[in-house]
Amino acid sequence: MPLSLAVLGAGRIGKVHADAIAATPGARLVAVADAFEASANALAEAHGARVSTIDEILAASDVDAVAICTPTDTHADLIERFARAGKPIFCEKPIDLSLERVRQCLSVVDETATPLMIGFNRRFDPHFAALKRAIDEGRVGSVEQVVLTSRDPGLPHLDYLPRSGGLFRDMTIHDFDMARFLLGEEIESVVATASVMVDPKVGELGDVDTATILMRTPSGRQAVIINSRRATYGYDQRIEVHGSGGMVSAENQHEASVTIATGDGYTRPPLQNFFMTRYAAAYRAEIGAFLKALSEGIAMSPSGDDGLAALALAEAATRSVAEKRPIDPRSMGKGA
Amino acid sequence: MPLSLAVLGAGRIGKVHADAIAATPGARLVAVADAFEASANALAEAHGARVSTIDEILAASDVDAVAICTPTDTHADLIERFARAGKPIFCEKPIDLSLERVRQCLSVVDETATPLMIGFNRRFDPHFAALKRAIDEGRVGSVEQVVLTSRDPGLPHLDYLPRSGGLFRDMTIHDFDMARFLLGEEIESVVATASVMVDPKVGELGDVDTATILMRTPSGRQAVIINSRRATYGYDQRIEVHGSGGMVSAENQHEASVTIATGDGYTRPPLQNFFMTRYAAAYRAEIGAFLKALSEGIAMSPSGDDGLAALALAEAATRSVAEKRPIDPRSMGKGA
Amino acid sequence: MPLSLAVLGAGRIGKVHADAIAATPGARLVAVADAFEASANALAEAHGARVSTIDEILAASDVDAVAICTPTDTHADLIERFARAGKPIFCEKPIDLSLERVRQCLSVVDETATPLMIGFNRRFDPHFAALKRAIDEGRVGSVEQVVLTSRDPGLPHLDYLPRSGGLFRDMTIHDFDMARFLLGEEIESVVATASVMVDPKVGELGDVDTATILMRTPSGRQAVIINSRRATYGYDQRIEVHGSGGMVSAENQHEASVTIATGDGYTRPPLQNFFMTRYAAAYRAEIGAFLKALSEGIAMSPSGDDGLAALALAEAATRSVAEKRPIDPRSMGKGA
Amino acid sequence: MPLSLAVLGAGRIGKVHADAIAATPGARLVAVADAFEASANALAEAHGARVSTIDEILAASDVDAVAICTPTDTHADLIERFARAGKPIFCEKPIDLSLERVRQCLSVVDETATPLMIGFNRRFDPHFAALKRAIDEGRVGSVEQVVLTSRDPGLPHLDYLPRSGGLFRDMTIHDFDMARFLLGEEIESVVATASVMVDPKVGELGDVDTATILMRTPSGRQAVIINSRRATYGYDQRIEVHGSGGMVSAENQHEASVTIATGDGYTRPPLQNFFMTRYAAAYRAEIGAFLKALSEGIAMSPSGDDGLAALALAEAATRSVAEKRPIDPRSMGKGA
């Protein structure tokens, strides 16, 4: 029996997940919901699915699970409603921009014992996954230092920024998740420095565009994130992990594996410039992992708690910039 | 109106093309034919197509074009039949192992003015295509020397070898096509050296497994192909083109873009080990080009004549090894 | 007239500079001093120089300048004595481990207007110099983020550690200098995290072996240093600079430019494992720059103030670890 | 007792070897001879040697060995004279442009049992030496195919060409030596194609500037050389060896190990552009090997016979181009 899924939100990322579901043997897309009828129609038609309302999908006996790809401010409500309806959930990150709201939401998930997976797609990138496998196989010994370079090709639309939650919650949150994923230990201290270097309008909107974040764990493991909203040479996504026995790194993806050599030097093309191109394989593998966990009844990973922990790191970094001191992310949102 | 296609041959490569057709907007797979009913059923079912006989497809008014993916010795007959039925054809390489038979077949294609594209997939590899684009844009000046490295991970099944036509017709034919594609001029001389170094059984079957081929054009351009049926480190597929203004090269594809550094050195994973993985994007782009040419009514490329020319080079290389001298491929199959 | 130099200290680094002086056209080594007579004799003989005492060199009319390569705790005294004797000075880093002592010493240098160059050899590494040149030529725009990776192959002798001044003053001081050199702006904030991960004995000696340091400048430029006293794969020395227009990086030096590809993957040799091998060209260029500045009468760079500023950063990092907060290096040693 | 050497010929390459001798512990340069007094004086003075005539050096009891760095047409005569004088000889390649003359000369060397080493410097390049070591250690199994890429940055002075012996004897001879060195088996067949693509004046002088050469050994091993007198991107010197167990390659040397990434892509500097820069370490190691063989009394390598064999390959390639057929180099100069 194939698993039947509904996709909520037929925008850019909804389309990515719908395509991935449709291409996965053992899964089919049966319903699509979106506030914009045209978007819902187009996506549904492309995959032979029906257009439904949220209420219809909540009640549909032929929908085994849902993928939430709607705007961030609807995530927590939808998770709670589908959890109460007993439907397993894949939800795009973040659950919410408020730690308090995330905690409420996850308590509903816990009470209802609903399988919930959060869309930290980078864990499923084949290159980062190969790096993680090398660590897990002990090929570099015990992890000591992690360096994450994560630079967007350019700023998002400026009118998006005010509702993004800021650089740390919007962009760095992926790097926070990867830092946790790779360090293998919770983080006890976050200190960040941040600037406006790409566009002064970012500063006028109360945000930053360039940041470096330093973290440590109780046993002394260290991680650093290098972030910018600008990279003229493409979407810069690298990881380097130093262990007691060696180093493992995952390199960037260029537009093509060609080199042109002339009197000006040896030139390779810029990096793949768009996160959906760079992480196309990751998105497919992510949905595959969700469907596999669903059909095998095993625990979802990354979990709701992973989503919470990454958000707490973003909160800590935000506060560190404001207060110019290291912050313990475990104290976040707890009246600390 | 989407284009409706039938796939003849539901084996490994038929499946690749069927999947590519199904995934292409504006195209759909309507029929599958295969001598083995189970194969035809499985492939048809996967894409909601019907199982048909060759005769039914020849007569089907809803089949706009066919993709011939059957064994080599059926290609020429099928091309002729579908040409006479007025259906455009995509055919896997080679058209036939006999130059004479290919010439006959292409005369039918010509008479009937049937669009025919030959499956030289490498032209559509994104890396090789980027290399070709660099040449066409004049970034390395006028082409002077071409170096093609093409090494299979291992021998095919030995029982396949006797009907393969030999190394040059079976494996090097792709490199011959790429040499022609990149030199931008016909080849006037082929000299080859070949050995049995991988497995003596190859020699017992009258074939070779290791070869180096040297070619030149009338204006003095040079090309060399380095072939082997063995590469312990994966499927080695590289091209290097030297021009008057510089060099452009297309590098190999590793299993993942990671490096592990220890006291033993810096290690990257082996190459993607299977031609279908290595050329997955090429196969998709190839079918896309066929469908595009079909819908826009433009000339097919690579054409039947490209298939003929590559086979003539394989013939010339075969004769060069036997006669230990350079051979003019233009004299092949013409009683020379 | 060639410049005549004396080398004080005939140990490992003294030998490096003596060889560089001897190999430089327009310079000659005339005298060598060392507390160990055998060392002085060997080095003097190798270059046809005489063995002298410090006092003799101070008084020697045929010694145009000196290179101080003695143990750290003698540097400041020697600088003062030779400054008062009117002899230009090249001195190995650091001037002293105490900021106060460095300030005293530099005041003597200032009063006597003695040319003084500090041995921050990395500025002269051809790869780092090419990186700096790219920045100065504006090829990456305005500098925004600097990432320095600096990892030693292994711990120094443990009995050296107590007089090393600790990781930041002994090893990171080079990276602090490079950060200043590349940021093009003074640093206003240093925050560091440090651990003992290589050998618990390091901790017992009150030192650390693994550290990450985060810095920022008044305009918001950011720099991060990743340090370890262990790198199984060799001496890891890399720099990456992000600017408004792009990135420039300087990569590591392997033992040889070869790759072996087998079923285990593609393997390059480990890195050059010893700082004297890795920076052999840098040491030669450094002495060349000293001699050039001397003969042309231009300002020495890196200067005594550069030595002071790097030490202040080391002090700030040391205090940041102790106090778990960012420290302004400009307040160091000033009763702050 | 240090070895005392004389250098004959104080030109560019004579200076290289003189510097290498002077820098080698256990060796000293005692005499320099050159038809141009100023050249001889300058080189002698730089190293504290005396200026001598050839006759004086032949008779000098304090000259243990000579390095012949004079023009090619004097090599054979000088070798014979010094052989008869009982002085061991290092001689720049080639011994002579005539196979017959080389054979005569080597018979004198044999009769007098004079140690003779020929200056095929590339064998001593640290990268190529590491590649050879990997082969000798069995890391790629039995050698099957060798690919040598050897491209000069530009044409030599056109007035040099007529006395160069032509591309194969002048430039390819190094690659022929490397092919022999790496194949580990004599070559039985050479076939070459050559063109004039860089400058038509080269053709007017009866020479070629672009060539590809294919060779094989009796056991079926294959080698290919890709030559050009033009490489806009620098001095292109690469080797790739395929064996039964894997591949080993030696890569090019760039001007610096830096990369600049912008919207135009990732750019590394061109290659080191001059053979003396590229092979600086090789020249030093070469003289070191000569001195070591001399002091230890072991056989010289590469030997006079290696010089002869490389020249025979050049002859065979020359004839192959003229006769458009494979040539057996073992038949060269023997009235074949």
**Is D195's CB within 8 Å of B214's CB?**
no
Pairwise CA distance, residues C272 & C235, whole Å: 6
pLDDT interval class at C336 (50, 70, 90): very low
Q: Which of C261, C264, C267 sits opposite B266 (nearest CB)?
A: C267
What does the mean pLDDT of chain D come to? 96
Q: Are residues D132 and D79 in the same domain?
A: no
Q: Cβ of C226 and A224 within 8 Å?
A: yes
Looking at the structure, tell me whether residues B130 and B242 fall in a common domain: yes
What pLDDT sits at residue A189?
98
pLDDT of residue B336: 40
> Where a domain ends, among C68, C91, C114?
C114
CB contact under 8 A, A232 and D263: yes
* B177 and B85 co-located in one domain: no
**What average pLDDT does this structure show over A122-126?**
98
Residue B302 covered by a domain: no
Distance from CA of D306 to the nearest CA of C (A): 25
pLDDT at residue C47, rounded to an integer: 86
pLDDT score of D336 more than 60: no
**Which residues in chain A touch residue B269, judged by CB atoms under 8 angstroms apart?**
130
**Are B250 and A257 an interchain contact pair (Cβ–Cβ within 8 Å)?**
yes
The string of pLDDT tens digits covering residues D249-296 is 999 999 999 999 999 999 999 999 988 889 999 999 999 999 999 999
The answer to whether B31 and B10 are in contact (CB under 8 A) is: no
Select from C114, C141, C174 the last residue of a domain: C114
Last residue of a domain, one of A114, A147, A169: A114
- Name the minimum distance, in Å, from the CA of A231 to any CA of chain D: 8
Q: Is the pLDDT of residue C177 over 90?
A: yes
Contact C250 D262 (CB under 8 A): no
Residues B212 and B143 in one domain: yes
3-state helix, strand, coil in chain C (%, to 5): 40, 25, 35
pLDDT > 70: what percent of chain C? 99
- Cβ-defined contact of D257 to C248 (cutoff 8 Å): no
Asked, for residue C10, whether it belongs to a domain, the answer is: yes
Report the run of H or E that residue D33 belongs to, with start and end: strand D27-33
Residues A129 and A266 in one domain: yes
Local structure of residue A209 (DSSP, 8 states): S
With a cut of 50, say whether residue D305 has pLDDT above it: yes
Q: Structurally, how many domains does chain C consist of?
A: 2
- What does the pLDDT read at residue B58? 98
Examine residue C295 and state whether it is found in any structural domain, yes or no. Answer: no
Domain-located, residue A289? no
Do residues A136 and A108 both lie within one domain?
no
Whether D291 is covered by a domain: the verdict is no
pLDDT at B334 (0 to 100): 65
**Which band of pLDDT confidence, cut at 50, 70 and 90, is reported for residue A1?**
low
| Parent domain of A61 | 3-114
Q: Which of A233, A263, A264 sits opposite D262 (nearest CB)?
A: A233
Contacts of C129 in chain D (CB under 8 A): 256
Task: Confirm or reject contact between B254 and chain C (CB < 8 A).
Answer: yes
Q: Where are the alpha helices (DSSP H) in chain B?
A: 12-22, 37-46, 54-59, 72-84, 99-112, 126-136, 167, 173-183, 200-204, 275-278, 280-296, 304-323
Those residues whose C-beta lies under 8 Å from the C-beta of residue B68, and which sit 6 or more positions away, are B8, B9, B74, B75, B78, B79, B82, B89, B90, B91, B92
Min CA distance, B52 vs chain A (Å)? 24
Same domain for C92 and C228? no
Give the DSSP H or E segment for D253: none
ipTM score above 0.90: yes
Q: Report the distance separating Cα B304 and Cα A34, nearest Å.
A: 49
Q: Please state the rounded mean pLDDT for residues D315-331.
A: 97
D250/C262 touch (CB, cutoff 8 Å), yes or no = no
* Position C287 pLDDT exceeds 50: yes
Residue D138 and residue D207 in one domain: yes
Set of chain A residues whose Cβ sits within 8 Å of the Cβ of C257: none
Residue B141 sits in the same domain as residue B105: no
Task: Report how far residue B19's alpha carbon sits from residue C310's, in angstroms, rounded to the nearest whole number.
Answer: 62
- The pLDDT tens digits for A165-223 are 999 999 999 999 999 999 999 999 999 999 999 999 999 999 999 999 999 999 999 99
- The CATH number of the domain holding residue B47 is 3.40.50.720
pLDDT tens-digit map of B155-185: 999 999 999 999 999 999 999 999 999 999 9
Q: What pLDDT band is residue A57 in, cutting at 50, 70 and 90?
A: very high
Is D196 a domain residue?
A: yes
Q: Which residue of C has its CA nearest to A218?
A: C195
Against chain D, the chains showing at least 3 CB pairs within 8 Å are: A, B, C
| Beta strands A3-8 and A27-33, pairing class | parallel
Q: A254: which DSSP letter?
A: B
Query: Are residues B194 and B278 both part of a single domain?
Result: yes
Q: Which residue of B has its CA nearest to A137?
A: B260
Query: Using DSSP, how many helices (H) and how many strands (E) does chain C show?
Result: 12, 14
Cβ–Cβ contact C273 with B under 8 A: no
Predicted pLDDT at A26: 83
Lowest mean pLDDT among A273-282, B173-182, B185-194, D119-128: A273-282
* Closest CA in chain A for residue C219: A195
Shared domain check, D88 and D166: no
Domain assignment present for residue D44? The answer is: yes
| Range in A193-207, B306-320, C34-48, D141-155 with the lowest mean pLDDT | C34-48
